[in-house]
Amino acid sequence: MIPLVRRARRITAVCALGAALAACGGTGASRAGLTAPSPSASASPSTAAKPSPSRPPALTPGPGGLTPVFSHGPRTKGKTVALTFDADMTADQGPRAAAGEHFDNPQLIATLRALKVPATVFMTGRWAEQYPDQARSIGSDPLFELANHSYSHYAFTANCYGLPTVPSDRMRSDVEGAYEAFRKAGVPHPMPYFRFPGGCYDRQSLRALSGLGVTAVQWDVVSGDAFATDADAVVRQVLDGVRPGSVVVMHCTRSAAPTTERVVRAVVPELRKRGYRLVKVSDLIGAATDRA
């Protein structure tokens, strides 16, 4: 197992090479102790509320009305894990896509379907604009749920892996812009979940989004698939990190995460062999809200 400190340093170095990926920062430097408390261990994940398109599970606002933050589900009485995939594309990467760079990964989505893996895809509005047919297909498939990863994939704090920064007075509109892109692409029921680009947030950004009714979704397992060329190393990192209730962050960006599809083909059977049940983020949040 890779020691946590060494793993964090390695991932931070990788992120410095490619700030376009969403969730490189596994240590959450700007979380500042703001994550929601872990759910009580008194109930089983099997009691999770079933999500519906009109009323998906969400957490209540945090202290001071701040946007609630969710990073993992219940740790006991049931082995569940949510695989999440960030579909990253910044607001200014259109020319690169036009030149042939692939920010999509249809083979990964096909593999998830073939293996019958429930998954949550955090998508930027720019990605949905570039690939509207794929966005609609993912968002319409009951196997998946589609959530918000901002419109621009610009950071919501300063010093976030070199990403450009969204001004505080535009943070809300950047999230709303992604939902508008989903609507135009024909996505029927995007979830009220939001993942901060780079995983970077602070009180100011949580306050800016507090009126949107979204839950910020982080993670507790960094796959390390960003720019990885060794699929086996990514597989080991995921399997070493997973615990009951884990949220694993991976990417749905073929050019910048080329090993992810192979990782999924190896990780999914092994997790199931170990007794894990693969679920969507809404299932974990539903289990948490059942405890409230």
pLDDT at 224 over 70: yes
pLDDT at 37 over 80: no
pTM, two decimal places: 0.84
Q: Specify the amino acid at residue 23.
A: A
Label residue 55 by pLDDT band (50, 70, 90).
low
Domain extent listing, the chain: 79-291
- The CA distance from 218 to 72, in Å, is 8
Q: Please give the structure tokens belonging to residue 230.
A: 């060794």
In this prediction, residue 288 carries a pLDDT of: 85
The angle subtended at Cα 118 by Cα 31 and Cα 57, nearest 5°, is: 55
What are the tens digits of pLDDT across the range 203-218?
Answer: 999 999 999 999 999 9
In this prediction, residue 63 carries a pLDDT of: 85
What are the tens digits of pLDDT across the range 112-156?
Answer: 999 999 999 999 999 999 999 999 999 999 999 999 999 999 999
Q: How many CB atoms lie within 10 A of CB 122?
A: 30
Helix (H) or strand (E) holding 121: strand 119-123
DSSP 65: G
pLDDT at 18 over 60: no
Taking the domain 79-291, which CATH number applies? 3.20.20.370
